[in-house]
Amino acid sequence: MLYLLTTLVININDSLPTGILIFLLSFFSNTLSAISGGGAGLVQLPGLILYGVPYNQALASHKLATVALGIGGSLRNYKSLGSDIFIALQILIFGLPGVIFGASIIEYISEQYLYLFIGLISILLAIYSFQKSDLGLKSENNKLNLIHKISFLIFIFLIGILNGSISSGTGLLVTILLIKTYGMEFQQAISLTFFTVGIFWNFTGAIYLSKVGEFNSNILLMLIIGSFAGGYYGAHLSKLKGNKIIKKTFTTVCLLVGISLLIKSIKLFIY
């Protein structure tokens, strides 16, 4: 770890203003993500691409940086994770194989179809969240039958595949899946998403994606610092403001993620 950090510091050749810009980009996007339960890729990933980083490198760097988001958010909300450890294990056991599979086939997948699919799903989630005024505002403790449990695990695996291949918006999908399946409130679901998706899914995906696209060490350190700080600060704000502001942010981020991904998809189809 010390060697990695030393290497990163030595390799930062960019000017100070550029480093500050990368930090602010990361801090803002991950603060927003920490409040809504996902969507860091809405700002951070396109920002890296606009900076001139190739897609595969940008995705690998983004994924590793969002591990820091998961750690920052989990540190702020770690007390709420104890009662959900069994659900967390299910997300890891059935989701990680999906992440690995998704990351391993990214070279063979047409990006425009993935963008189109998740974009439409994100917009539908925003509409659904807006229409359901009480969604995620209080815990309901749903009783699950075998069909519900199996369906949950299948969806976790499928979302894992999307996480490994495209990243953007998958945290939002896991958050809403937890709310609908287990009747969790937003804060509880987001804490669990940070711990499982933010740390373990994204770290696994980053390792596999590094074989396709190397990490850009010139910007990675500032991304990690910004992601950790944004994750902790966003989780802090969500605790202060409560589930209502989280729900509004979730709905807004879902809509913006969906529109952004649809635009990307249309551009790829045209060009």
Q: What is the pLDDT of residues 232-268, one digit of tens each?
A: 888 777 777 777 777 777 788 778 878 887 887 888 7
User: What does the alpha-carbon distance between residue 168 and residue 115 come to, in Å, rounded to a whole number?
Assistant: 9
Residue 10 lies in a domain: no
Task: Give the tokens for residue 155.
Answer: 């969806």
Cβ neighbourhood burial of 141 (10 Å; 0-12, 13-18, 19+): exposed
* pLDDT at residue 168, as a whole number: 66
Select from 261, 239, 247, 238 the least CA-distant residue to 31.
Answer: 238
Residue 11 lies in a domain: no
Segment 143-174, tens digit of pLDDT: 788 998 999 999 999 999 988 877 667 888 89
User: What does the alpha-carbon distance between residue 271 and residue 265 come to, in Å, rounded to a whole number?
Assistant: 10
Q: What average pLDDT does the segment 137-143 reach?
A: 70
Residue 226 lies in a domain: yes
Residue 8 lies in a domain: no
Segment 5-16, tens digit of pLDDT: 334 444 444 455
Model confidence at 136: pLDDT above 50? yes
Residue 4 lies in a domain: no
- Asked if residues 62 and 223 have their Cβ atoms less than 8 Å apart, the reply is yes
Segment 57-93, tens digit of pLDDT: 777 777 788 888 888 777 766 666 667 889 999 999 9
Residue 258 lies in a domain: yes
One-letter amino acid at 213 equals G
Cβ neighbourhood burial of 188 (10 Å; 0-12, 13-18, 19+): buried
Q: In terms of residue numbers, what domain contains 218? A: 16-270
Residue 121 lies in a domain: yes
Sole residue written with tokens 């499928």: 158
Count of domains for the chain: 1
Residue 192 lies in a domain: yes
Q: What percent of the chain has pLDDT over 70?
A: 78
Select from 179, 234, 259, 181 the least CA-distant residue to 68.
Answer: 234
User: What does the alpha-carbon distance between residue 266 and residue 250 come to, in Å, rounded to a whole number?
Assistant: 24
User: What does the alpha-carbon distance between residue 209 and residue 203 come to, in Å, rounded to a whole number?
Assistant: 10
Give the number of other CB atoms < 10 A from CB of residue 10. 9
Whole-number average pLDDT of the chain? 78
